Chain A
Amino acid sequence: QVQLQESGPGLVKPSGTLSLTCAVSGVSISSSNWWSWVRQPPGRGLEWIGEVYYTGSANYNPSLKSRVTIAVDKSNNQFSLRLSSVTAADTAVYYCARLGYYYDSGTYYYSFDYWGQGTLVTVSS
C-alpha cells in the first residue's frame, strides 16, 4: 500500500522560505516514478509545482521555477520542497503526489495515482 505523508511548518513569514517533506512508504522512492508537489490555494484549483526523479533530475512549473527546489532523499525514502521569497499568494494546501505509470500493450500511461492528505501552509507575519 503506497502512502505519502507531508510534514513541515504550518506558518511561514513573508519573504521567508517554505520547506516541506513528503515521506513515502510502501514503495521505494527509487522506483521509476516522478515524485511531485501540487498546491491548492483556499477555494481555488490545483496547481502543479514541480517534480523530482530518484536520480535528482527535476522539472518545475515555469511560473515558480525561480523560487522552487525539489530534492530527493533516497536514504530516508522521502522528497522535499523549498519555496523561497514567499508571499500571502503562496498560502495554500500543499500536496505531495506520485506521478505513476501503467504499462499496457506497449504504451505507458501517466497520472497522479497516489496523494498525501495535504498540509495547509499559511504565509503571514
Chain B
Amino acid sequence: EIVLTQSPGTLSLSPGERATLSCRASQSVSSTHLAWYQQKPGQAPRFLIYGASSRATGIPDRFRGSGSGTDFTLTISRLEPEDFAVYYCQQSGSSSRTFGQGTKLEIK
C-alpha cells in the first residue's frame, strides 16, 4: 500500500499570502494518478487537481499543483477567505487507493 504523508499538519496564514502544501509518497506514484481535494466543515470533499497539475473544471488558477515521483505540492498563490479548509492528496496508482492525512489551512 502506498502511504501519503502530508506536511505541515496545520498551516496558519493570512488572506493574500501564498500557501505551499506538501505530499510525499512512500513509493513512486505516476503523476497521472495523483489528485488533490479541498474539504470544508460539514461538506464532502471538492475535487481540485488531477494528474498532479491539471485543475478540475471551475477551479481558480490561483490553485497550482506540481511534482512527480514521490514529492508533490499544492500551491495557492494568493489566499482568499474561502480557501481556508483542509486539503488532501490522493493516489490511484495501485488498486488500493489512499489519501494523505490532510493539511489544515487556517486563518492566522
Contacts and interface: CB of A to CB of B under 8 A. Distances in A.
Interface of A: 36, 38, 45-48, 51, 59, 61-62, 95, 99, 102, 107-118
Interface of B: 1, 32-33, 35, 37, 39, 43-45, 47, 50-51, 54, 56, 88, 90, 92, 95-102
B95 A59 contact: yes
A115 B56 contact: no
Contact of A36 (B88, B97, B98, B101): B97
| A-B residue pairs, 10 tightest by C-beta | A111-B35, A110-B92, A111-B50, A115-B44, A109-B51, A46-B99, A48-B97, A59-B95, A45-B102, A45-B101
Contact of B1 (A62, A107, A111): A62
Nearest to B100: A45
A59 B97 CA distance: 9
Contacts of B88: 45-46
Q: Per DSSP, are chain A's interface residues mostly helix, strand or loop, or mixed?
A: strand
A51 B92 CA distance: 12
Contacts of A114: 47
A82 B54 CA distance: 34
A102 B50 contact: yes
A95 B56 CA distance: 20
A10 to B, nearest CB: 16
Most B CB within 10 A of own CB, among A95, A99, A107, A111: A111
A59 B96 contact: yes
Contact of A113 (B39, B47, B99, B101): B47
B79 to A, nearest CB: 22
B89 to A, nearest CB: 10
Contacts of A113: 47, 50, 56
B32 A108 contact: yes
B21 to A, nearest CB: 14
A86 to B, nearest CB: 21
A117 B96 contact: no
